Amino acid sequence: MGPAGHCSRKDPAQAYRPSVRPASAVASRPLVRGAGVLAAVLLVPPWTPAVADAGGSPVLELEPMVVTATGRPTPLARVATSVTVISAGEIARRQLRTLADALSGVPGLRLVPLGGPGQQTSAFLRGASSSHTLVLIDGVRANDPSSPTGAFDFAGVSLDNVERIEVVRGPLSTLYGSDAIGGVVQVVSRRGTGPASLGAGAEGGSDHLASMTLEGSAATSTLDGSFGASAHRTSGDSVTPARLRDGAREERDAFTDRTLAGRLGWAAADRLELGLTGRWTDNETELDPGAGEDPDARIHQRAAYLRGEARATLADGRWESALALDHARHNRRNRNDPQSPSDTWERSRFEGERTALRWQNDLTLPPGQVLTAGLEVGRERADGRSQVDLGGFPLSARTDAHATNRAVFLQDAFEAGNAVQGVFGVRLDDHEDFGAQATWRIAAAHTVPATGTRLTAGVGTGFKAPSLDQLYGVTVSGFGVFRGNPNLDPERSLGWEAGLEQPLGEGRHSVAVTYFASRVQDLIALAVLPGGNSTLENRDQARISGAEVSLAARPSAALALSVAYTYTDARDGDDERLLRRPRHQLTTRADWQASPRATLTVTATYVDDWEDVDRVSFERVLPPGYGLLDLGLRYALTPRATLLARVTNALDQSHEPASGFAGPDRAIIVGVEGRLW
């Protein structure tokens, strides 16, 4: 297994050979989790799961394919870039419920939630800013154009109908343009397969948690389809730690989420395929935005992602042409009512949209080359309104902005036998506000046949366009008026990496080490104006370096162990540590097939101290590091139904992932999942 249980590019044991293990360790996809369906699941006739063999016979796990790193399906072992793939089997085995859960422990990535379930969650990939990670959902850019920095909020993104998650570390602007300085995270939906099937399940537990999901799949010779739906609610814990409550009574911050996702495919002709994917989310979260408990603050968010694609195979399979139309829509509404007539109340509404057309052509050329060329045009819009009443003094502001970006890109993926693989790419973006931006990237890998040692190296540039809010936004709050700066330049980066992977013990064990470094210029920083108002300007720079070390071992067919360690040194131009980037981060995991029916998972995480800004005083502080222990159990009740149990934060460790924001207490959750037919 890869670092922290993931299948990773920096994992020679997984990359060079498929693994055989008891089928009961390859859990069928999580289909539905909800107490109400337990009886129905247990009463239906036995069946044989599509993924797992209930009798315990071995199942062959095929090597994963990766799309994000090169823009086209490529075997993981032939990708010359640091990649982690989280499969549907791992999602089921580890009982992962959200995108944030799945990304926890990925090498080089730190997630920072501002509290418990549903609270805003940022990702810092290889020390880059939270706005430097691009998130794709089935190829659709999921970053909200109306958010302040354009950073993606990883909170509450459920894993309904997800086939795999791909995390590519390092600059990828040559394929995806803006936002991909630190890397790219892509969520790929499950494709319908086999006869019609339907699954259901339920979970309940601590903090009044209740969750139900439903998934289905079917395919014929020309049509395939899949869908997933879920509803989730928890009363949660208080976001505000006890040290900041000043003796006030704890007020829980609840979270409610609903998700619907689907995928359709049609083989319209021998060489023409049409596809449609969609995902819709609706959630509401209670907040504590100030310095203490706030029972009336909440945010309601909706998002929809839709992609239609036509893919043609021409010239006897040597030319593949794909035309895709994407649309993403975000809606956020904040509300904070006053506790007394003299209190401040706030209202805000933000809507963001992005529509893009992408035409990509992949031409296979001898010997061992694939030339990729494409065009892309995208238009994004942000519309926002904010109101604040400062004890009888009302203020309001309006933002209405849009921008168009056009791009052309070219990439050559080359091979020299089985020992050398690489990629070279260039891209030119033309943004209507700041003009042209060129980026390039080259990466290569060489395998030493005698030892299986794999050496990798890569270097590339990236950029982050200012968000519409940073350019044109106007917002009022209790802190003053913020106005964007239309003269901002993009943030620009140069990054490189070098790595070594070594399989050991005939492929049962592995070790991988990767060194990375980058420089980011023209970072956008807040500028406080006279009177307390604020704007933005390009003035900062960053120097980032670090290392990722991964160890994996399989002492027996029933036991898999993994360790993932990341060292990060991220500093600004004044040699100050960048906020919320710990130097040391460690995740260890053990997966044990205790019996043909039972699978146990133990995960331990340690996060070193880091620099942050205090929630109350706004001064720089050094919060202490913390460690967490999570436990999971899957037990096959019948060939058709599986009992689930897990304990998060099993030692009930008090911790603050961000200064002044309390992490969740210990939670015990039980449930069942299975197939209805």
Average pLDDT over residues 62-86: 91
Residue 20 has pLDDT above 50, yes or no: no
Q: What domains appear along the chain, each with residue ranges and CATH number?
A: 3-482+489-675 (2.40.170.20)
Over residues 552-570, the pLDDT tens digits come to 999 999 999 999 999 999 9
pLDDT band of residue 367 (cuts 50, 70, 90) is: confident
Over residues 566-592, the pLDDT tens digits come to 999 999 999 999 999 999 999 999 999
Residue 462 has pLDDT above 70, yes or no: yes
DSSP string across 119-146? S-EEEEETT--GGGEEEEETTEE-S-TT
Residue 364 backbone dihedrals phi, psi, to 5 degrees? -85, 125
Over residues 369-390, the pLDDT tens digits come to 999 999 999 999 999 998 888 7
Low-confidence winner among 16-30, 179-193, 504-518, 619-633 (lowest mean pLDDT)? 16-30
Tokens for 168, please give them. 């590519």
Tokens for 258, please give them. 């609903």
- pLDDT value, residue 28: 37
State the Cα–Cα distance between residues 401 and 384, nearest whole angstrom: 9
Please return the burial class of 315, using the count of CB atoms within 10 Å of its CB with bins 0-12, 13-18 and 19+.
Answer: exposed
pLDDT band of residue 366 (cuts 50, 70, 90) is: confident
pLDDT band of residue 461 (cuts 50, 70, 90) is: very high
- In a 3-state reduction of DSSP, which class is residue 288? coil
Q: How many residues does the chain have?
A: 677
- In a 3-state reduction of DSSP, which class is residue 131? helix
pLDDT band of residue 14 (cuts 50, 70, 90) is: very low
Residue 624 has pLDDT above 70, yes or no: yes
State the Cα–Cα distance between residues 616 and 656, nearest whole angstrom: 14
Residue 358 has pLDDT above 70, yes or no: yes
Q: What is the mean pLDDT of the chain?
A: 89
State the Cα–Cα distance between residues 124 and 111, nearest whole angstrom: 6
- 562 forms beta bridges with 552, 589
Beta-sheet pairing, 197-205 with 474-477: unpaired
Minimal CA–CA distance to 121: which of 157, 167, 154?
154
Q: Give residues with Cβ within 8 angstroms of 180, minimum separation 6.
A: 132, 133, 134, 171, 172, 173, 462
Q: Which value, in Å, is the radius of gyration of the alpha carbons in the chain?
A: 24
Tokens for 474, please give them. 């106007």
Average pLDDT over residues 77-81: 91
Average pLDDT over residues 31-55: 33
The one-letter amino acid at 149: T
Sheet holding 183-189, edge to edge: 7-8, 83-87, 162-169, 183-189, 133-137, 140-141
- What ranges make up the beta strands (E) of 220-254? 223-234
Minimal CA–CA distance to 672: which of 203, 213, 209?
203
DSSP H or E segment with residue 547: strand 534-556
Distances (CA, A) of 452 to 3, 418, 500: 19, 11, 11
State the Cα–Cα distance between residues 290 and 282, nearest whole angstrom: 24
Residue 36 has pLDDT above 70, yes or no: no
The one-letter amino acid at 669: I
Distances (CA, A) of 488 to 150, 227, 310, 428, 536: 15, 42, 37, 19, 8
Percent of the chain clearing pLDDT 90 (strictly above): 77
pLDDT band of residue 625 (cuts 50, 70, 90) is: very high
488: left (phi over 0), alpha (psi -120 to 50) or beta: beta
- In a 3-state reduction of DSSP, which class is residue 667? strand
Contact between 541 and 519 under an 8 Å Cβ cutoff? The reply is: yes
The one-letter amino acid at 31: L
- pLDDT value, residue 27: 36
State the Cα–Cα distance between residues 620 and 544, nearest whole angstrom: 20
Q: Give residues with Cβ within 8 angstroms of 90, minimum separation 6.
A: 5, 6, 7, 96
Contact between 630 and 165 under an 8 Å Cβ cutoff? The reply is: no
Low-confidence winner among 34-38, 220-224, 520-524, 542-546 (lowest mean pLDDT)? 34-38
- pLDDT value, residue 8: 55
Task: State the first-to-last Cα distance of the chain, in angstroms, to the nearest integer.
Answer: 31
Q: Give residues with Cβ within 8 angstroms of 445, minimum separation 6.
A: 79, 80, 420, 421, 422, 454, 455, 456, 457
DSSP H or E segment with residue 670: strand 667-675
Q: State CA 513 to chain mean position distance.
A: 23
- pLDDT value, residue 478: 67
Average pLDDT over residues 642-646: 98
State the Cα–Cα distance between residues 667 and 647, nearest whole angstrom: 6
Contact between 17 and 507 under an 8 Å Cβ cutoff? The reply is: yes
- pLDDT value, residue 507: 87
Residue 293 has pLDDT above 80, yes or no: yes
Entry pTM: 0.90
Contact between 203 and 671 under an 8 Å Cβ cutoff? The reply is: yes
Tokens for 576, please give them. 């100050």
The one-letter amino acid at 320: E
Tell me how crowded residue 432 is: count the other CB atoms within 10 A of its CB: 11
